[in-house]
Structure 1
């Protein structure tokens, strides 16, 4: 059996990720938001309000950029900042009614795009891929 080169596998992962992100960027651009803004809105839509400092870590946005993303989403009325009652240093981000309304329209389209992208993959293959990617991710840290 021929040995697989991890560099080639890595390049394939990067190309695949880039291709998927481009499809998603095209979809969300119709809503005048960028990829990072979508990631934050998706997190808040799915999981509810979050401490702002944890939002960036959960969606892999650098701490130097998360304030800009939060500011822009807040300016557009999609999220609001809520001070923590127990610790004045902590600020929460919460999706607004306007943000929820947009995500209720956008999220099903997002799911449909991903379903189309993975349409040729069977459930077993998807589970195996997720398992393999988890192993690779764990080895990267």
Structure 2
């Protein structure tokens, strides 16, 4: 198989994408550390729980939404649980599985932190784009996400760490 090297234009676009995403993630992390004492990943876990019915998700579902391994999620949830922002509940049907549930204090932290988070995202990303570019951005990344989710050359769901499931209704 012959390597399909990136053209100069593609290489510039790739490097610009990498630089921008790293800088944006760093700025978001700094804002969330300053305002809430937590990294973006922890904030995302709280946000995912706040959007779930009853503020509660199975750990495997939460790992998939956050696109992280279950062991990394367990570490993060342990820290958030220690801070009183999340509570874990055992599954009645499967002792190996558990749920993460957002506490009232976790919701209060989200409500306090969300305005600064949204302002950071808005000022660093969306204020830099025209309405047409926002539409293009959404179209580009939605298309990429769909392709990556269904690409047959990618690992099967069982091979992707955040998609592995144990058996049982609570996994």
Same fold (TM over 0.5): yes
Distance in 1 (alpha carbons) for counterparts of 2:15 and 2:136: 19
The 3-state SS of whatever aligns with 2:127 is coil
Paired residues in the alignment total 139
Aligned to 1:109: 116
User: Which position in structure 2 is the counterpart of 1:42?
Assistant: 47
Question: What pairs up with 1:54-133 in 2 under 5 angstroms?
Answer: 54-117=61-124, 118-133=126-141
Q: Per-residue displacement from partner, 1:81-112 (whole Å, max 9, x unpaired)?
A: 12234444431111111111111010111111
Residue 64 of structure 1 and its aligned partner are, at CA, apart by 2.5
1:52 to 59, 67, 89: 59
Dislocated runs of 4+, deviation >4 Å: none
Larger Rg: 2
1:23-34 matches, within 5 Å, as: 23-30=27-34, 31-34=36-39
Higher relative contact order at CA 8 Å, sep ≥6: structure 1 or structure 2? 2
* C-alpha contact 2:29 2:39 (8 A) present in aligned 1: yes
| SS of structure 2 residue aligned to 1:16 | helix
With structure 2 as the length reference, what TM-score do the two structures score?
0.73
Cα distance, 1:4 vs structure 2: 6.6
Normalising by structure 1, what TM-score? 0.86
* Root-mean-square deviation (Å): 1.9
- Stretches of structure 2 that go unaligned for 5 or more consecutive residues are 1-6, 152-171
